[in-house]
């Protein structure tokens, strides 16, 4: 905007320099009834510059806020889709990759959007300066346009190389994130066994590779910036050296230099942001691919509501993981309401898989599961799970207080209800032994507690959910004999008001079950009450004799 001021002061009025900007300012003066003068023009130019800077400030803030909103939207979409995806996909997905996507990739993906917007903004600004330079000298402008076109070609090649490097960097970062998650999950093993060096070498290898790749990216970024600066500087020097040949007067040359001095940074910013866009495209694509995978693998279910006073049964149910043999085959079971049903058998026999099928986490390859008269494909599995409490042998707790962990399924629980359930689960003594009682911080995944304490918390947490079906998958394996006996009494009381489905290895846990299914090699080999199966002297009788130390037979009948 200071160009009109220079035009106003110049003395070689015989030149053909355009008076467009002067005319605009002159019209503004006439509109407001002001006599044009040097100081008036200077004031108007200053006001316009300030307004322009204010608009730049506002546009930058808007773009940055938009970037933050884009990042937040990606995070929300990932979180919302994650728990709606099917269980098989969740099993295959790596914890480190999801964590990397949420924490890092979403932010960098939003930067890609920001880079694209900046390219548009800076391109518009550069085009405006091009129009000004056309008014001054069409020939010089065409030369500049051609020169910057050549520069853009080389910058484009460099940007595509940066894109490839960035893709490799992101893949290595994902691997590093996964390895870090594995290290943290196995920290006690590595610490106690002192066998961490091999795994640490793997992690440090990823660290070294990320550094190497980022150095190459940074090198190409800085080389492009330097090349752009030197190219622009060389163009201006050539303009000074050959202005006579080009037939440009001194005053026109001065104005052209000012125009190109303002225009060159805009072109540089276009090139820099184009490079940055290519740098972030692989990360943006990674987020998009994850969102698409989550959508494609979204859990499918029906809309019919199960009435929990009805029976759950399976008919000839078989299931196999992709490319493998059947884990369970021709399973026929029946679970009546308010009954206690137990599954026992060797490790890997398929007991937990049956639980996953009942929960709708896995879909049968053949056969059907019926919830009352509702086929598993038509069941509203979300509503079903709202009434189910699941307790696994691999207890997972939140990094918070004991109370926070207990009421996670019932956040509105009163202190009276908390006290009542804790007493029912015989947790009084345990809570009194903690430094801050029920408000004690238990650490990440309950690391400050014993295995038995974690299991008691998980069982109590399940009761806060007021389930109609309680599923226990080896949920009492870490309890001492006395505590297990007390909890068996609690389960005997609970069976009057809910269906209990359990998996256990210790037969003492399932003696009072209404029905026991003995699972071996993925099939039901026996079914009945404890007493019936003992009298039968089959597989359960064999397992009972092994656990009691009275085995007189070498193999089950």
Cβ atoms within 10 A of the Cβ of 255, count? Answer: 26
Name the H helices within 297-368.
351-358
Residues 263 and 357 placed together within one structural domain of the fold: no
Q: Is 50 exceeded by the pLDDT of residue 17?
A: no
Contact 104, 321 (CB under 8 A): no
Residues 128 and 236 placed together within one structural domain of the fold: yes
Strands (E), 372-416: 374-375, 388-392
pLDDT of residue 366: 96
pLDDT of residue 15: 42
Does some domain include residue 303? no
pLDDT of residue 171: 95
3-class DSSP assignment, residue 12:
coil
Q: Is 60 exceeded by the pLDDT of residue 552?
A: no
Does some domain include residue 328? yes
Strand partners, 527: 517
- Among 296, 327, 348, the domain boundary falls at 296
Does some domain include residue 182? yes
Q: Give the sign of the dihedral formed by CA 61, CA 65, CA 68, CA 70.
A: negative
Q: Is 50 exceeded by the pLDDT of residue 538?
A: yes
3-class DSSP assignment, residue 517:
strand
Residues 438 and 466 placed together within one structural domain of the fold: yes
pLDDT of residue 213: 96
- Among 249, 267, 296, the domain boundary falls at 296
Q: How confident is the model at residue 67 (pLDDT cuts 50, 70, 90)?
A: confident
Residues 231 and 281 placed together within one structural domain of the fold: yes
Residues 254 and 351 placed together within one structural domain of the fold: no
Q: Is 70 exceeded by the pLDDT of residue 29?
A: no
pLDDT of residue 21: 54
Which tens digits make up the pLDDT trace of 206-217?
A: 999 999 999 999
Q: Is 60 exceeded by the pLDDT of residue 8?
A: no
3-class DSSP assignment, residue 466:
coil
pLDDT of residue 26: 64
Q: Is 90 exceeded by the pLDDT of residue 525?
A: yes
Does some domain include residue 246? yes
- From residue 22, alpha-carbon distances to 7, 35, 51, 308, 402 in Å are 8, 13, 19, 84, 75
Residues 501 and 395 placed together within one structural domain of the fold: yes
Does some domain include residue 119? yes
Q: Is 90 exceeded by the pLDDT of residue 428?
A: no
Which tens digits make up the pLDDT trace of 257-302?
A: 777 777 777 888 888 889 999 999 999 999 999 999 999 999 999 9
**255: which residues sit within 8 A by CB, 6+ positions away?**
3, 6, 7, 17, 136
**Burial 513-526, CB ≥16 within 10 A → b, else e:** bbbbbbbeebbbeb
pLDDT of residue 14: 39
Which tens digits make up the pLDDT trace of 182-233?
A: 998 888 888 888 888 889 999 999 999 999 999 999 999 999 888 888 888 8
Task: Return the percentage of the chain with pLDDT > 90, whole number.
Answer: 49
Q: Is 80 exceeded by the pLDDT of residue 256?
A: no
Top pLDDT among 50 and 208 is at 208
Task: Return the percentage of the chain with pLDDT > 70, whole number.
Answer: 89
Q: How confident is the model at residue 62 (pLDDT cuts 50, 70, 90)?
A: confident
Q: Is 70 exceeded by the pLDDT of residue 371?
A: yes
- Among 242, 269, 296, the domain boundary falls at 296
Q: Is 90 exceeded by the pLDDT of residue 487?
A: no
Q: Any idea how long the chain is?
A: 557
- Residue 514: HSE in the Cβ half-sphere, 13 Å Cα cutoff: 17
Residues 321 and 289 placed together within one structural domain of the fold: no
Place of tokens 């509501």: 305
Q: Is 50 exceeded by the pLDDT of residue 11?
A: no
pLDDT of residue 526: 93
Mean pLDDT to the nearest integer, 499-520: 90
Top pLDDT among 448 and 45 is at 448
Residue 162's domain is classified under what CATH number?
1.20.1560.10
pLDDT of residue 499: 95
This prediction's pTM: 0.79
- How many structural domains compose the chain? 2
Q: What's the domain range around 320?
A: 312-548
Does some domain include residue 557? no
pLDDT of residue 270: 85
Averaged pLDDT score across all residues of the chain: 86
Mean pLDDT to the nearest integer, 354-370: 95
Phi, psi (degrees; rounded to nearest 5) at 25: -65, -35
């Amino acid at each position: 905007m200071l160009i009109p001021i220079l035009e106003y002061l110049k003395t070689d009025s015989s030149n053909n320099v355009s008076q467009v900007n002067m005319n605009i300012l002159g019209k503004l003066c006439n509109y407001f009834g002001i006599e044009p003068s040097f100081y008036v023009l200077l004031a108007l130019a200053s006001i316009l510059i300030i307004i322009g800077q204010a608009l730049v400030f506002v546009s930058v803030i808007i773009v940055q806020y938009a970037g933050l909103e884009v990042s937040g939207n990606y995070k929300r979409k990932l979180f919302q889709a994650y728990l709606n995806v099917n269980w098989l996909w969740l099993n295959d997905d790596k914890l480190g990759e999801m964590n990397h996507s949420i924490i890092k990739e979403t932010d960098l993906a939003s930067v890609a959007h920001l880079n694209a917007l900046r390219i548009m903004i800076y391109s518009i600004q550069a085009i405006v300066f091009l129009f000004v330079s056309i008014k001054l000298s069409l020939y010089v402008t065409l030369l500049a346009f051609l020169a910057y076109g050549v520069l853009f070609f080389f910058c484009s090649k460099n940007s595509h190389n940066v894109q490839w490097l960035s893709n490799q960097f992101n893949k290595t970062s994902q691997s590093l994130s996964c390895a870090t998650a594995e290290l943290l999950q196995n920290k006690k093993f590595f610490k106690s066994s002192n066998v961490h060096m091999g795994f640490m070498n793997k992690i440090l290898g990823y660290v070294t590779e990320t550094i190497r790749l980022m150095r190459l990216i940074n090198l190409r970024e800085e080389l492009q910036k330097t090349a752009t600066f030197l190219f622009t500087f060389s163009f201006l020097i050539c303009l000074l050296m050959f202005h006579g040949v080009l037939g440009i007067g001194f005053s026109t040359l001065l104005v052209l230099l000012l125009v190109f001095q303002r225009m060159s940074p805009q072109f540089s910013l276009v090139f820099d942001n184009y490079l940055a866009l290519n740098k972030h495209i692989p990360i943006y694509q990674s987020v998009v691919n994850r969102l698409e995978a989550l959508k494609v693998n979204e859990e499918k279910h029906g809309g019919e509501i199960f009435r929990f006073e009805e029976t759950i049964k399976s008919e000839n149910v078989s299931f196999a993981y992709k490319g493998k043999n059947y884990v369970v085959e021709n399973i026929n079971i029946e679970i009546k309401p308010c009954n206690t049903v137990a599954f026992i058998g060797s490790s890997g026999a398929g007991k937990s898989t049956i639980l996953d099928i009942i929960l709708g986490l896995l879909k049968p390859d053949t056969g059907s599961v019926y919830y009352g008269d509702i086929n598993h494909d038509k069941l509203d599995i979300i509503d079903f799970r709202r009434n189910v409490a699941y307790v696994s042998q691999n207890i997972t707790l939140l990094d918070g207080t004991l109370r926070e962990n207990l009421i996670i399924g019932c956040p509105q629980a009163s202190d009276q209800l908390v006290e009542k359930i804790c007493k029912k689960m015989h947790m009084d003594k345990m809570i009194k032994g903690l430094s801050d009682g029920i408000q004690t911080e238990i650490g990440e995944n309950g690391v400050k507690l014993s295995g038995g304490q974690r299991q008691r918390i998980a069982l109590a947490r399940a009761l806060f959910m007021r389930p109609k079906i309680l599923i226990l998958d080896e949920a009492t394996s870490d309890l001492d004999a006395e505590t297990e006996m007390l909890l068996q009494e609690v389960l005997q009381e609970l069976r009057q008001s809910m269906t209990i489905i359990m998996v256990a290895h210790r037969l003492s846990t399932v003696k009072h079950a209404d029905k026991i299914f003995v699972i071996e090699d993925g099939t039901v080999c026996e079914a009945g009450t404890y007493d019936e199966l003992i009298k039968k002297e089959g597989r359960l009788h064999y397992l009972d004799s092994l656990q009691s130390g009275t085995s007189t037979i070498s193999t089950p009948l």
